[in-house]
A and B are shown apart, each in its own frame.
Chain A
Amino acid sequence: MTTLTLLQAVNEALHTKMREDERVVVFGEDVGPKGGVFLATEGLTQEFGKQRCFDTPLSEDGIVGAAVGMAVNGLLPVCEIQFQDFIFPAFDQIVSEAAKLRYRSGGQYTAPMVIRTPYGGGIRGGLYHSQSGEAYFAHTPGLKVVIPSTPHDAKGLLIAAIEDPDPVLFLEPKALYRSVKGEVPEGSYSVDLSTVRTVREGSDVTVFCYGAMVPVCEKAAAKAAEGGIESHVIDLRTLLPLDEEAVLDAARSTGRVVVVHEAPRFCGYGAEISALIAENAIEYMEAPVRRVTGFDTPFPNTLEHHYMPDERRVLDAIEGVASF
């Protein structure tokens, strides 16, 4: 075990898989000798050469389109989109091509590939360096959508994503890149995709969250506990395919649910969690599901900390559903 930041864990996962499997190639804007704008790919070109970790021209649809072709022809591409905000030129390649290739070809062709991209607010990045676009992608059959919140999961989930036979969008909460540290096993290990992580056990209120909202919810849960409310906090960590049974079990166990995400509320991921519970566990519910989310606005700049759910707003929701 070593203690790593989430960013170092991502870097270590890439090193680990590149050492293990010759087919793994890493590419994107500035990921080569510079090691990426956040340094997630630091040292890869130096260790594996520019045939396996290289810079690309500034072309998101080109990066993802080329990754699809590489995957079809036997490589295991792990491409980086510098900020999730810049992924939209590649939306067509992700949604129309990578995600649909297996289905449309009757399983003859597949695109095992990973698209890594930092997402989320909290770094004063304004409209275009802060967004949480997970819901656009979670609506795409054929794609897997993964978001780690701890260094342990970042490494294990990224290794699992690279080994997965289907295309995976790997969203990295950039606000946590250097702010969380944790124990990470050395060598190769994987964390199963489509499983949730129980962050904290409790019997009064269930809180569903992911990514950078996990530490926020942990703090709010600790505060709520001081007032005698025990929260059951679940890190969803794979949004697609979702472990629906685990979500329903956790919802049923308390009958009171709060869902937290940074992304806008309308048609956000919380709506799916909420509907899943309404359809399958309404008889267990003691209170309406409460969502704590970003506003239905573009991402702000100076006021970002008011836009993003914080400890105070999550605590208010926990207390609200607990006392309903």
Chain B
Amino acid sequence: MAELQQILDETGALVGEVPDLSDERLRELFQHMLMIRSLDGRMLKLQRAGRVGFVGTATGLEASLVGAAAPLLPQDWMWSGLREGGAAITRGLPMSEYVAQMYCNSNDTAKGRQMCNHFQHKESNYPSWSSVIGTQITHGVGAAYASARRGDDAVHSIHFGDGASSSSGFHSGMNLAGVWQTPCVFVCIDNGWAISVKSSEQTAAESYSDKAEAYGMPGVTVDGNDVLAVYVEMKTAVERARAKGGPSLVVLKTYRMLGHSSSDDPSKYREDEEVEAWAQCDPLDRYESFLIARGLIDANERSAQEEAIVAEIDEVIHEQEAAPPFPLRSLVEDVYSEVPRHLRLQFNQFLEVAERRGDATPGDGAFPL
């Protein structure tokens, strides 16, 4: 069994060496974690009020997201699945775009085409991802190959869950990266559950990080609720990749505290005791204790910060709620670089029926054929 890497124990007591980070940076990690948790809370509220359709939360995973993203440089890429949106914010995804995507409105850079919670941000190298599990893994490897060939010094951080480790994309991606020695890091966030299937039922391997050996790369298992340990192990892996030392697998053991999504009721398949036990290892509580003990924040800081973050989020929500959806023409745009004739025709026929039947929706008119 792989040894669990830890710097802070469950109570926040130091059991390892604090990484060389400024006090300001240590506080910033906490703010980022708090931001993710607050964002989850607000989005769930919107979902329950029927304002947004779907939320895939990261509650419980904050240390894994923030610690893994923190060692990345601006030129690096993050390839993601469902729960990395908050990590993307720490790398530059504007809150307004995050919320616009949740509303799928006309400010959404994806033009409202993806269901909620599918973020992207080109400026910080955070590509669009699909809902299909594990497909982003080989994308990250191919993109890392391109970076290496160009010599642009970028590392590709490829995030996925314990469930995705069973997908063909995991095997294909890990294998290609090992053979090609691409500059990437595989970040497996083992959050205990793939919807309703226990992490222990995804594999007969004793630990997920053991899988790395088969692909000729190092693997490490980290306490994913310990932001400092996650940061340190990710930094090692990112630096190895940047120094042309090849890929590695970093497994972050954490726990998805809420359902798979806002549409899931986890009480049907897991015991309250398990959730309560993990609540005792909460990544925010733990890190807060450490920061207080180190004199970097005081006991009132968390609630004050939380209040400020929530106020900021609410302001963004207020702005984004007013934005309209995308015009009708976007139905057939971006399928190809130019709208081909058969799609222009299909759209015009649709518009003609809508107008003739008296229920035309405002759009920007027919296409020239």
Contacts and interface: CB of A to CB of B under 8 A. Distances in A.
A binds B: yes
A102 interface: yes
A89 B342 CA distance: 30
Contacts of B139: 65-66, 68-69, 72, 97
A253 interface: no
Contacts of A77: 142
A242 B337 contact: no
Interface string B74-111: 00010000000000000000000000000000001111
A71 B145 CA distance: 11
Contacts of B124: none
B109 to A, nearest CB: 6
B127 A72 contact: yes
A104 B138 contact: no
A165 interface: yes
A102 B337 CA distance: 8
A108 B130 contact: no
B334 A65 contact: no
B137 interface: yes
Contacts of B141: 62, 65-66, 69
A97 to B, nearest CB: 5
Interface string B114-125: 100010101000
Given A69-B142, A74-B146, A105-B128, A59 B172 contact: yes
Contacts of A228: none
B336 interface: yes
Contacts of A142: 335-336
Contact of A96 (B132, B142, B171): B132
A66 B109 contact: no
Contact of B335 (A66, A105, A109, A141): A141
A104 B172 contact: no
Given A103-B113, A241-B336, A61 B172 contact: yes
B84 to A, nearest CB: 16
Contact of A106 (B109, B168, B340): B109
Given A59-B172, A106-B109, A109-B128, A194 B135 contact: no
Contact of A108 (B120, B173, B179, B333): B120
B297 interface: no
A70 B334 contact: no
A51 to B, nearest CB: 6
Contacts of B140: 69
Contacts, number: 139
A97 B130 contact: yes
Contacts of B316: none
B150 interface: yes
A56 B147 CA distance: 18
A70 B118 CA distance: 21
Contacts of A69: 138-146
B176 A62 contact: yes
B145 A104 contact: no
A109 B143 contact: no
Contacts of A102: 334-337
A97 B336 contact: no
Interface string A282-303: 0000000000000000000000
Interface in A171-196: 194
Interface residues of A, number: 46
Contacts of B176: 56-57, 59, 62, 66
Contacts of B342: 241-242, 244
A44 interface: no
B175 interface: yes
Contacts of A100: 130
Contacts of A73: 77, 142-143, 146-147
A99 to B, nearest CB: 9
B225 to A, nearest CB: 30
Contacts of B173: 62, 65
Contacts of A61: 138, 168-169, 172
A92 interface: yes
Interface in A42-100: 51, 56-57, 59, 61-62, 64-75, 77, 89, 92-93, 96-97, 100
Given A106-B109, A107-B334, 20 more contacts: A51-B149, A57-B175, A59-B171, A61-B138, A62-B141, A64-B138, A68-B138, A72-B139, A73-B77, A73-B142, A74-B146, A75-B149, A96-B132, A97-B130, A102-B337, A103-B335, A104-B113, A105-B127, A105-B334, A108-B110
16 contacts: A59-B171, A61-B172, A62-B138, A62-B141, A62-B172, A65-B169, A69-B141, A70-B145, A71-B142, A72-B127, A77-B142, A93-B138, A96-B132, A104-B113, A108-B128, A244-B341
Interface of B: 77, 108-111, 113-114, 118, 120, 122, 127-128, 130, 132, 135, 137-147, 149-150, 168-169, 171-173, 175-176, 179, 333-337, 340-342
Interface of A: 25, 51, 56-57, 59, 61-62, 64-75, 77, 89, 92-93, 96-97, 100-110, 141-142, 144, 165-166, 194, 241-242, 244-245
Q: Which 10 A-B pairs have the closest CB atoms?
A: A65-B138, A69-B142, A62-B172, A66-B142, A105-B128, A106-B111, A69-B139, A69-B143, A73-B146, A73-B143
